[in-house]
Amino acid sequence: MSDDVRLAVSLGLLLILAVAAQSYGRLRLRAAVLTAALRAVVQLAAVGLVIRSVFAAPAASFAVLAVMAAVATRTAARRLAELPGAGRAVVIASLSAAALTLGVLFAVPALPRSPRYLVALGGIVLGGTMTACTLAGRRLLDGLRRRRDEVEAWLALGATPRQAVADIARTAASEALLPALDQTRTVGLVTLPGAFVGALLGGASPLDAARFQLVVLIALLAAETYAAVVLVWLLGAPTQLPALD
């Protein structure tokens, strides 16, 4: 049995397990799981071909990052469509966080200034800011709905919209950062993150793999914190409250 066949069989069994668990739990996401898996196969195959070309033509790395940024911001904005102005806020928060984080890392530089590292770390950071914006925005939306009476009371007492929503916005940003904080706190104790494992499998020494993983974790923590704070600030002075469910 070839390596490709063994891989296909293993992934197929894992998908069957996921679908079976969802069926048992009546989660109604079976189609989404299968679609996501199929998209991952197609997209990773395409990305592999594109990135190989990027290494041959370094200037193309910026085009790859632009596509990543467009997809990341569009995905987060779509999930926050119920918040007025969310699309613009996501673009500003996500891209400014990624640009600032990557700028610091490559200005020092903490990593070699090469397309290989720029594309790899850029994709990781953009993915992190997408997640942070999505979580912060959804927590903000939920807070505005659950605590609507409180916000209206503050407004009736003469508070500005930003003052009335300040506590909800702080809570939303804080909760959005919990996954990044937990990942950073437990690295090496609970999980061996992908960057560390990938570097080891690529032939790096354990020390070099740990160094790269540390850069990734701190970069993600900084980028996600910045993105979450900027997003809730931009959306934290609403001119109208979202409709109740």
List, as one string, the DSSP characters of 45-110.
HHHHHHHHHHHHSTTHHHHHHHHHHHHHHHHHHHHTTTSTTHHHHHHHHHHHHHHHHHHHHHHTTS
CA distance 213 to 152: 45
CA distance 120 to 65: 10
Domain for residue 171, yes or no?
Answer: yes
Backbone torsions φ then ψ of 45, nearest 5 degrees: -65, -45
Containing structural domain, residue 30 = 1-56
Identify the sign of the CA torsion 56, 58, 60, 65: positive
State whether residue 36 is helix, strand or coil: helix
Residues 52 and 96 in one domain: no
Look up residue 119 and give its two tokens. Answer: 């594309």
pLDDT tens-digit readout, 183-218: 888 776 655 666 665 666 566 666 777 777 788 888
The answer to whether position 209 is within a domain reads yes
Domain boundary among 39, 56, 73: 56
Can you tell me which residue has the tokens 């109604």?
A: 28
Does one domain contain both 159 and 102? yes
CA distance 53 to 78: 31
What count of Cα atoms within 13 Å lies in the side-chain half-sphere of residue 89?
30
If asked whether residues 82 and 43 sit together in one domain, one would say no
| Residues 149 and 88 occupy one common structural domain | yes
Does residue 16 register a pLDDT over 70?
yes
- Give the mean pLDDT of 13-42: 82
Tell whether the model's pLDDT for residue 90 goes beyond 90.
Answer: yes
So what's the pLDDT on residue 21? 86
For residues 92 and 194, state if they share a domain: yes
pLDDT computed for residue 134 by the predictor: 95
162 domain-assigned: yes
Residue 244 belongs to some domain of the structure: no
In the block, which residue shows the tokens 């997640």? 131
> What's the whole-number average pLDDT of the chain?
84
Q: What single string gives the DSSP state of each residue in 146-215?
A: HTHHHHHHHHHTT--HHHHHHHHHHHHHHHHTHHHHHHHHHBTTTB--HHHHHHHHTT--HHHHHHHHHH
Domain total for the chain? 2
Query: Could you tell me if 80 and 166 lie in one domain?
Result: yes
**What is residue 188's predicted lDDT score, i.e. its pLDDT?**
65
The mean per-residue pLDDT over the stretch 149-171 comes to: 91
Whether pLDDT at 171 is above 60 = yes
Q: Which pTM value belongs to this model?
A: 0.78
* Mean pLDDT, range 75-103, rounded to an integer: 93
What would the mean pLDDT of 73-93 be, rounded to a whole number? 93
168 and 208 fall within a common domain: yes
Query: Of 127-141, 194-208, 213-227, which gets the smallest average pLDDT?
Result: 194-208
pLDDT at residue 26, rounded to an integer: 78
Q: Which of 34, 56, 78 is the last residue of a domain?
A: 56
196 lies in some domain: yes
Residue 24 burial (CB count, 10 A)? 8
Q: What percent of the chain has pLDDT over 90?
A: 35
User: Is residue 220 assigned to a domain?
Assistant: yes
**Residue 224 included in any domain:** yes
Same domain, 93 and 207: yes
